Chain A
Amino acid sequence: MRWRYNKLCQLHHWSNDVDRQFIFNQLSGQTHVLSRLALDILELIKHEKIVDDDGVWSQLVDLYENFDPSDEDMRQHVLGMLVSLDELGLIEPSRSL
């Protein structure tokens, strides 16, 4: 699956704790509480414009020193997060090549 950032979102950020990142989406009026990992995924997709599942995973492995590239459970967890971010309307699938 290829992903892109939802450009209609206007996100505002607040946090006082590494593990709980508060995001206000001005488009939906909703507040989301994300983990640091989820926020990093969001930032990564925003920066990359379009990126696929493998691209997200490989960049996270580079970003987080403690990530094991062969850790399939963690990889599935990250893929699940992509689906969750899509459900929140923060990212969306991209059909562009």
Chain B
Amino acid sequence: MNFSKLPSSELQHLLLQGQLKFRCGFFSLCLQSDLPELNNLIQRMYANYSLENSEFSDFQINLSPHGIVHRFWRPQVQFWVDEKAPFKPFPRDTALPFLEWGLNWCIATHAHHYLMLHSGVIEKNNQALILPAWPGSGKSTLAAALCQRGWRLLSDEFGLVRPQDGLLAPFPRLIPLKNESIVVFRDFAPDAVMGPEYPKTRKGTVCHVRPPTDSVERDQELANPRWIVFPKYRKGAIMNLRPIEKTQAFVTLSGHSFNYDLIGLRGFQTLANLIDACDCYTFEYGGDLEQAVAQLNALADGLI
């Protein structure tokens, strides 16, 4: 059963009891919250995630109001994971972005059985395109756009490479768009399911896109890496997809890893195998998503 089929009263009960267990990719999550405003939001945005009955969860997460004073004055929310609070509290009206950022932190600091890349990953015909980039480079926008045009979303944030076979593990989550990209994406995909806009976060205005149903339903399906494309959004830039040397890609990609330095030889060998398996490019684009999607589709279709 998934979230969308769960009666809202039952969802609220499970959330209150800390029994809302669900799967995302190869991670099992358990969520607890007594924030009533989250119920409908989670039901809508997490609609396609599968509920789980397992006793075990990788992360036990609790979102709860913070402090007595802050229940009434500038309400705040705290993110707890396994009974620890790794962050300072956030304004209560940003609970969903806080949950999403907190989940990212959980993965980035724990999932060292993967080589973790800071990248979007999408797949078509079992060939995955990896989009490693710094924040603000447009990787989430590109990933969101491509998965509205027939690509499967593995993640907009984590390239999870399995050292044992080099395959990419899905982790399809909400895609947080920021600032101008929100309007651009709405125009590009008016039918996409999007959450509320959260203004004045540390990253400006944030709005989440729900991952496509197909991407969530196929979250156990690994993908073969085929292309590494370093995207760079620059307003008004002429689109340019340019091949780069694999050695250059190695250096740049190691800098986009959360844990390359941490996992030692496994990181080196996994990265080397990944680079060997992929064609590598830089991709500058000026914000025309239709044009950018057409170009990357042409790459996937062997026309470039």
Determine how close the nearest CB of chain B comes to the CB of A14; give it in whole angstroms: 4
A29–B276 Cα gap in the complex (Å)? 21
Q: Is the CB of B245 within 8 A of A12?
A: no
Chain A residues within 8 Å of chain B by Cβ, number: 12
Contacts of A12 in B (CB 8 A): 265, 268-269
Cβ-based interface call for A84 (8 A)? no
Q: In the complex, what's the smallest C-beta–C-beta distance from A89 to chain B, in angstroms?
A: 16
Our pick among B247, B261, B265 for the contact of A16 (Cβ within 8 Å) is B247
Please, what's the 1-or-0 string for B84-115, where 1 marks a CB less than 8 Å from any CB in chain A?
00000000000000000000000000000000
Name the residue of chain A whose CB is nearest to the CB of B263. A29
Question: Within the assembled complex, what's the spacing in Å between the Cα atoms of A33 and B251?
Answer: 9
Provide the A2-19 mask, 1 if CB < 8 A to any CB of B, else 0. 000000000010111100
Kindly specify which of A20-28, A44-52, A73-81 makes contact with the partner chain. A20-28
User: CA–CA, A20 to B265, complex, Å?
Assistant: 19
Give B83 Cβ to nearest chain A Cβ, in Å.
32
Question: With A and B bound together, what is the CA distance between A16 and B271 in angstroms?
Answer: 13
> Which applies to chain A's interface (DSSP): helix, strand, loop or mixed?
strand
Interface size class of B (residues with CB under 8 A): 10 to 19
Q: Which residues of chain B have C-beta atoms less than 8 A from A17's C-beta?
A: 245-247
Known contacts A15-B247, A17-B247, A31-B254, A24 near B276 by CB under 8 Å: no
Chain B residues within 8 Å of A15, by CB? 247
Q: Are B268 and A24 in contact (CB-based, < 8 A)?
A: yes
Return chain B residues, CB-CB under 8 Å to A16: 245-247, 250, 275-276
In the complex, what distance in Å separates the CA atom of A95 from the CA atom of B248?
39
Task: Report yes or no: A31 in contact with B268, Cβ–Cβ below 8 A.
Answer: yes
Q: Which of A14, A22, A26 contacts B264 (CB 8 A)?
A: A26
Q: Is B81 an interface residue (CB 8 A)?
A: no
User: Which 7 interchain pairs have the tightest Cβ spacing?
Assistant: A24-B268, A14-B272, A16-B246, A20-B247, A17-B247, A26-B265, A29-B264
Interfacial residues, chain B to chain A (CB-CB below 8 A): 245-247, 250-251, 254, 261, 264-265, 268-269, 272, 275-276
